[in-house]
Amino acid sequence: RELPHEDYRCGLVALAGRPNVGKSTLLNALIGFRLSIVSPRPQTTRHRILGINTTEAGQILYVDTPGLHRGAKRAMNRSLNRAARSAISDVDVAVQVIEAARWTDEDEAVYAALVEQAVPRLLVINKVDLSKDKGVLLPFVAKLAETHAFDEIHYVSALKRKGLPELERALLARLPVQPPVYGEDEVTDRSERFLAAEMVREQLMLRLDQELPYATTVEIERFEDRPDGVAEIHAVIWVEREGQKAIVIGQGGAQLKAIGSAARRHMEKMFERKVFLKLWVKVREGWVDDEGMLKRLGYTD
Ligand code: GDP
Ligand code: MG
């Protein structure tokens, strides 16, 4: 591709941060598209996802990272940590997202991982809509800045879309002058097949209680564009035990039906065509610990 003008910039920006600080919400707000799945639970994001934002000024390639997890005993958590580390290497700018007026040991661990990278580090304080009292927030940030080296600090609300244009300008200014990598209509490097699995998983996260979502995963067995213009998608929801299967299916199949219709609605919006979605629930003991299975499901890069 050619350089559209002499100050056109393009590069990779990592969105790092402990689980639940709002990285995926921020990514979606920045690219103006509901790409990365969001839920009130930690560990919703399991994969490295590239979100692409193209403007007149340039193209920002955002990497939404799964948070770093401690105590990575299970294969799944180890795979998440690998994905998180590889996502923050080889970027042009690293953004650490935190929640307004909160800095925990986990934030500290993310910071320690970022400091190892010789790239500009921006601190983004998210959820400022929850912290109305400037008398608390400003001293908190001042104190943090004394002991942690950030090149810039930004205040945003990903949810209310506050402070985002300023952040975007700051990020672009730190990217190299180079032509775009992706076409201007592209929003992600991920396939529709991958996104379809994520949308089913999002519903599992939103609708199932406690630990159950972490014992499930989704595999797309078939993704076919039919001659009538409908995308036919067959998905398997893998669970670890029979009892979990019953819960996912629900009374008279009600839960599975609700999961399916919500996921289908999101797919139709994202894929801009009609979707026929068929779901199965299958038991596979210990899939969370099974490296081979995780590989097949795309967890390891
Ligand atoms: P991630 O784990 O860092 O990717 O976090 P998510 O994007 O999945 O968000 C975690 C939770 O925080 C969700 O319930 C979001 O709706 C919420 N959230 C994200 N950004 C904001 C914000 O700016 N303000 C408020 N009040 N909530 C937010
Ligand atoms: Mg996320």
53 DSSP β-pair partners? 60
Which residues define the annotated binding site for GTP?
17-24, 64-68, 126-129
Tell me where in the chain the CATH 3.40.50.300 domain(s) lie: 9-173
Q: In Å, what is the CA distance from 258 to each residue of 36, 195, 205, 217, 238?
A: 21, 19, 13, 17, 17
Reference 239, options 274, 204, 192; nearest CA is 204
CA atoms within 13 A on the CB side of 279: 27
The amino acid at residue 135 is G
Query: What ipTM did this prediction achieve?
Result: 0.99
Q: Which atom of ligand 1 is nearest to the CA of 25?
A: 7
Mutate to test the pocket of ligand 1, among 25, 30, 96, 110 (most ligand atoms within 8 A of CB): 25
Q: Is 126 in the pocket of ligand 1 (CB under 6 A)?
A: yes
Q: Is 77 in the pocket of ligand 1 (CB under 6 A)?
A: no
Q: Which atom of ligand 1 is nearest to the CA of 97?
A: 3
What pLDDT score was predicted for residue 85?
Answer: 66
Collapse the DSSP code of 98 into the 3-class scheme (helix H, G, I; strand E, B; otherwise coil) and give the result: strand
Question: Tens place of pLDDT for every residue, the chain, 301 residues?
Answer: 899 999 999 999 999 998 889 998 999 899 887 777 766 665 555 666 789 999 999 999 998 776 555 555 666 666 666 666 666 678 999 999 999 989 999 999 889 988 988 899 999 999 999 988 888 899 999 999 999 999 999 999 999 999 999 999 999 999 999 999 999 888 888 889 988 998 999 899 889 886 787 788 899 999 999 999 999 999 999 999 999 999 999 999 999 999 999 999 999 988 989 999 999 999 988 777 777 777 776 665 4
Ligand 1 centroid distance, CA of 25 (Å): 6
Contact between residue 224 and residue 231 where contact means Cβ atoms under 8 Å apart: yes
Ligand 1 centroid distance, CA of 76 (Å): 23
For the domain bounded by 192-296, which CATH number is listed?
Answer: 3.30.300.20
Which own/partner contact pairs does 259-264 have at CB distance under 8 Å and 24+ positions apart?
A: 259/200, 259/203, 259/204, 259/207, 260/200, 262/203, 262/206, 263/196, 263/199, 263/200, 263/202, 263/203
What pLDDT score was predicted for residue 301?
Answer: 44
Tell me where in the chain the CATH 3.30.300.20 domain(s) lie: 192-296
Q: Is 132 in the pocket of ligand 1 (CB under 6 A)?
A: no
Mutate to test the pocket of ligand 1, among 36, 38, 80 (most ligand atoms within 8 A of CB): 38
- Measured distance CA(287)–CA(36) in Å, rounded: 23
Ligand 2 centroid distance, CA of 27 (Å): 9
pTM, two decimals, is 0.79
Fold classification of 9-173 is: Rossmann fold (3.40.50)
Ligand 2 centroid distance, CA of 224 (Å): 28
Residue nearest to atom 26 of ligand 1 (CA): 127
Ligand 2 centroid distance, CA of 1 (Å): 31
